[in-house]
Structure 1
Amino acid sequence: MNDYKNKITSLNLKSKPIFDIEDHLKYTKDWRGQYIGDAIAILKPHDKYEVSKILKFANDNEISIVPQGGNTSLCGGATPLKNSFSIIISTEKMNNIISIDKESMTITLEPGVILSIIHEQVEKNDLFFPLSLGAKGSCTIGGNLSTNAGGINVLKYGNTRDLCLGLEVVLPNGDIMNLLKILKKDNTGYDLKNIFIGAEGTLGIITAATMKLFPKPKLSITSFVETLSIKNAIKLLNLFEQELKNELEAFELMPKVFWEVASNNTENLSLPFNKMPEMGVLLELTTTSTNDTLLNNEGTTFLHEKLEHLLSKALDEELIEDAIICKNDLERNKLWEIRENAAENEKKELINSHAKKCLKHDISLPINNIEKFHQETQKMISTKIKNTRTIFFGHLGDGNLHYNIFGNGKGDDGFENQSQNITENLYKIIEKLNGSFSAEHGIGQLKKDNLRFFKDPVAYDLMKNIKYMIDPKNIMNPGKILI
């Protein structure tokens, strides 16, 4: 081991290697506390050349590499394996915004830039970067790209993949591939950047990216509505999509059980209504049109008028029971904070309820199959075990639900024994309904067995062949995605 320490030290990196791994759990333990791995060193390169030097060394010596950004993965994708001979490469020192181009509306930046910092810097230039998720204060753009992160604005702007114009990647042998173009049209063969987006660091390390920016919205209006069922929430979504051009930016499902968890784990929580909503939807309209910001005869903006018209129509059609429109940014931010704290509140709920385990599922479905999925899954769970709680919520506008099942926390209720069986049957229901068992969190260590089972076998073999061609020694994040 000392021989490897000496070799790693001799790489002469700007930041000293960390070898006392036991004192740095934040790098070897995942956010949920489900995985704790081992590593021989933690390295913090400052640029692509240092990344190249490290990867060439690791490849020559067949040492595994675990790329890590903010370490916010919910699937163990950025955590080393137990008893592994690995080097963790943290991108935290590669945190420079290289350029913001207002004419081409692009940003080029290094992988360690935190998402909320991107928002702040882009906004200073009167532009908008739409990727937004609960972990925005700690997740990095490199991790967002490596997991093809989604978030609350996918409905209008797409996933991280849709926002990316170009990448710079260091390959396992240390070669640096530069695809950092700001072109929106480039038909020069295979679109290689997309192989690395969503690959979770199993093919190389992203060292820079060029991302799309958008005009900063001139006005945003947020509303929370109560409806009685998923079916009515979907009808409401259809109404908004039919009546609006491109103003609908977010459409989040927040049912009663979501609010119960939020209430249990948030001090002085203010409910939108006097009671828990049976089925709630948090929606947001935005516009870049000056006309929509003009005041009508009643003194409200035309965008506000559009929203009021649609909510009135929804009431007439009995799609909703009640609705509020946020009067100011304070009200708006409070609602979005509740939504964005969902994962943290669930984490607290698991501890406070003494539930032994929570089965977390990040799924996507054709929107017209979501209610059927919920009904079939609840029926399936009831045949396996009693007294569970299903806490679900998510991005209804793009068909992505976070569907999490809690044990009852009252001794040995058999939940642990049935958990794998429940998840397997849940995934079979998803497969039958033409959905996906991984919508935006990735595969990591958690779902690699499921991927092999549910992925088209030809596609799975092709993925393995691509992995072997690019990384024949399997040094890049082994044990993630593929078996």
Structure 2
Amino acid sequence: MPAAPEADAIRRALDAIKSVVGPTGWLDAPDDVAPYLQEQRGLYRGETCLVVRPASTDEVSRVVAICADSGLAVTPQGGNTGLCGAGVPSESQPNIVLSLARMRSVRAVDAPNFTITMDAGCVLADIQQAAADADRLFPLSLGAEGSCQIGGNLSTNAGGIQVLRYGNMRELTLGLEVVLPDGSVLDSLRALRKDNTGYDLKQLFIGAEGTLGIITAATLRLFPRPVQTATAYAALSRIEDVIALLTMSRRLTADQLTAFEFVPRFAVDIATRHIANTRDPLPGTAPWYVLMEVSSSAGEADMHGLLENVLTQAMDAGLVTDAVMATSDAQRLGMWKVREALVEAQRFEGASIKFDVSVPVTSIPDFVHTATAACLTREPTLRVLAFGHCGDGNVHFNLAAPPGDDGSFIERSDEFATLVFDIVRSLRGSISAEHGIGRTKREAMGIYKSATELALMHRLKAAIDPLAIMNPGKVLPQAESAAGTHERKQR
């Protein structure tokens, strides 16, 4: 790690930064700075010399150049809604928090080209609305869409509920504008579907969590706005039947599935028990449920009939035991509320250890059965909550503390992480599907990524950020510890 800058150098750098962004572009009063130092779950808290809120790419560039000259670290921060601590500054290294919150302009909507270009500080919900105003769809949809910023979505390669149909942020991105660690600007805001001129540099920064540069703007793909939507909620006896239903649904709908979410009975129970106005869409109890949706931009399309045919054939095949289709917007929203209430409902059940993993879709049943058995063997009274985006293989595998937990369950996170991640690796899956690495999974990266992959990542980091000032302590484990961990794991 490079030597920390001297106090005089830090003071001069901060004065220069304040001059660049002006009096409304920085914060240093403790009460004003506090919200930028801690992530929403309170797992991490850092320190910073200054919160900087530039208003343009030029200001970001000049601020980063000052930091590069002085050795001051930079922690980029969007809406600070992440779940792995990537936006929390270091506690031990002099740094600034660079917030993109003032950079919120939609620069252009090109409806005939189905593209939108905006500043990285734009809130996701505002981008969705700008697209809708142009009779287009921007499909990324997340629980935090009212506060998360598109720069953060890009930096974590966000997914959400519609990846099955539209892809995650990598698939949705055509071009980026990025301020590099020396302050120079990479301008690749091209609205092109085809550009076969060498390396696709934008992909380096998507999912890099601010460790290689600061995304300041993006050009993203839009789609025809759906005008016909049909939603159904189905009960199933086995998780294997969930996968069979997905396969059947994709074929019978000509791949017009927009969403395909699976939830266990335990999830429905806690959602309806703890979250007001949440109701079970179906009578009786089944081990598994699927919330599925199809959509079309064609006004004459019969989405209701299409989905009804899927359910009829699925019931005839013995895959679905019961089902209901939404006949109104209110009923549709009620079905979705069961799914969306899960995150909040878990809090009322006590502490939980949460995993965001992905495996091949066909391996989801194997993963859920094996991981559940392994965790219950270690702690028979814990409660397993496995749910997620079945269509793209993303399983949120959460462990609710045993009833009456005295607070010690959460201290076993590493123990259960080893169990779960080892199973994920055996299925050639990923230990992070859509939440990123940040601090939370940084050391696990040293175990579950190959030595070759880690070495190449470190070489990229050293080449692009030789001073190691960009979001230090995130994503990549220390090169020495990663090599040692790999050696130990292989013995």
Distance 2:261 2:278 in 1: 19
Q: Say whether residues 1:265 and 2:274 are aligned partners.
A: yes
Of residues 76, 81, 93, the one that matches 1:67 is: 76
Aligned ranges for residues 128-139 of structure 1 at < 5 Å? Answer: 128-139=137-148
Of residues 223, 244, 247, the one that matches 1:235 is: 244
Change in 2 beyond 3 A, CA 1:441/1:12: closer
**1:414 to partner: Cα distance:** 5.5
> Does the 8 A contact of 1:384 with 1:418 survive in 2?
no
Q: Per-residue CA shift, 1:243-288, capped at 9, x if unaligned? A: 2213111000121111122123211322102345431110000012
Of residues 151, 158, 174, the one that matches 1:142 is: 151
> Does the 8 A contact of 2:381 with 2:403 survive in 1?
no
Distance 2:405 2:131 in 1: 51
Match of 2:352 in 1: 358
Q: Say whether residues 1:425 and 2:419 are aligned partners.
A: yes
Q: Say whether residues 1:303 and 2:312 are aligned partners.
A: no
**1:454 to partner: Cα distance:** 0.7
RMSD between aligned residues: 1.6
Structure 1 residue runs of 4 or more that deviate by more than 4 Å after TM superposition? 411-414
TM-score, length-scaled by structure 1: 0.93
**1:308 to partner: Cα distance:** 1.2
Q: Say whether residues 1:470 and 2:470 are aligned partners.
A: no
Aligned ranges for residues 208-223 of structure 1 at < 5 Å? Answer: 208-223=217-232
Aligned ranges for residues 278-297 of structure 1 at < 5 Å? Answer: 278-292=287-301
> Does the 8 A contact of 2:270 with 2:345 survive in 1?
yes
> Does the 8 A contact of 1:131 with 1:153 survive in 2?
yes
Aligned ranges for residues 38-187 of structure 1 at < 5 Å? Answer: 38-187=47-196
Of residues 395, 404, 416, the one that matches 2:389 is: 395
Match of 1:28 in 2: 37
**Letter paired with 2:368:** H
**Letter paired with 1:162:** E
Match of 2:326 in 1: 326
Aligned ranges for residues 337-352 of structure 1 at < 5 Å? Answer: 337-346=337-346, 348-349=347-348
Match of 1:404 in 2: 398
Distance 2:466 2:403 in 1: 46
Change in 2 beyond 3 A, CA 1:94/1:38: same
**Letter paired with 1:400:** N
TM-score, length-scaled by structure 2: 0.92
Q: Per-residue CA shift, 1:205-261, capped at 9, x if unaligned? A: 111100000111120111111111211111111111122213111000121111122
> Does the 8 A contact of 2:21 with 2:54 survive in 1?
no
Match of 1:453 in 2: 447
**Letter paired with 2:136:** L
Distance 1:340 1:94 in 2: 29
> Does the 8 A contact of 2:229 with 2:304 survive in 1?
no
> Does the 8 A contact of 1:37 with 1:84 survive in 2?
no
- Matched position secondary structure for 2:327: coil
> Does the 8 A contact of 2:275 with 2:341 survive in 1?
no
Change in 2 beyond 3 A, CA 1:266/1:416: closer
Q: Per-residue CA shift, 1:35-60, capped at 9, x if unaligned? A: 11111110111000100011011111
> Does the 8 A contact of 2:384 with 2:400 survive in 1?
yes
**1:340 to partner: Cα distance:** 2.8
> Does the 8 A contact of 1:218 with 1:288 survive in 2?
yes
> Does the 8 A contact of 1:13 with 1:50 survive in 2?
no
- Matched position secondary structure for 2:437: coil
Match of 1:298 in 2: none
- Matched position secondary structure for 1:393: strand
**Letter paired with 1:404:** N
**1:418 to partner: Cα distance:** 3.4
- Matched position secondary structure for 1:362: strand
Change in 2 beyond 3 A, CA 1:417/1:127: closer
**Letter paired with 2:204:** I
> Does the 8 A contact of 2:382 with 2:399 survive in 1?
yes
**Letter paired with 2:331:** E
Change in 2 beyond 3 A, CA 1:236/1:189: same
**1:419 to partner: Cα distance:** 2.7
**1:12 to partner: Cα distance:** 4.3
**Letter paired with 1:326:** A
Distance 1:339 1:223 in 2: 13
Distance 1:127 1:416 in 2: 44
Change in 2 beyond 3 A, CA 1:388/1:53: same
**1:377 to partner: Cα distance:** 1.2
**Letter paired with 1:114:** V
Query: Which runs of no fewer than 5 residues in structure 2 stay unpaired?
Result: 1-6, 478-491
224-233 or 19-28, which deviates more: 19-28
> Does the 8 A contact of 1:134 with 1:341 survive in 2?
no
> Does the 8 A contact of 2:253 with 2:307 survive in 1?
no
**Letter paired with 1:260:** D
**1:358 to partner: Cα distance:** 1.9
Q: Per-residue CA shift, 1:330-352, capped at 9, x if unaligned? A: 21122223323432333x32xxx
**1:400 to partner: Cα distance:** 0.4
**1:83 to partner: Cα distance:** 3.0
**Letter paired with 1:310:** V
Distance 2:383 2:44 in 1: 24
Q: Say whether residues 1:13 and 2:26 are aligned partners.
A: no
**Letter paired with 1:337:** K
**Letter paired with 2:178:** V
> Does the 8 A contact of 1:133 with 1:340 survive in 2?
no
Match of 1:377 in 2: 371
**1:10 to partner: Cα distance:** 2.9
**Letter paired with 1:304:** H
Distance 1:141 1:8 in 2: 24
**1:64 to partner: Cα distance:** 1.1
Match of 1:297 in 2: none
Change in 2 beyond 3 A, CA 1:383/1:270: closer
Distance 1:446 1:180 in 2: 32
Match of 2:210 in 1: 201
Distance 1:87 1:121 in 2: 32
Match of 1:443 in 2: 437
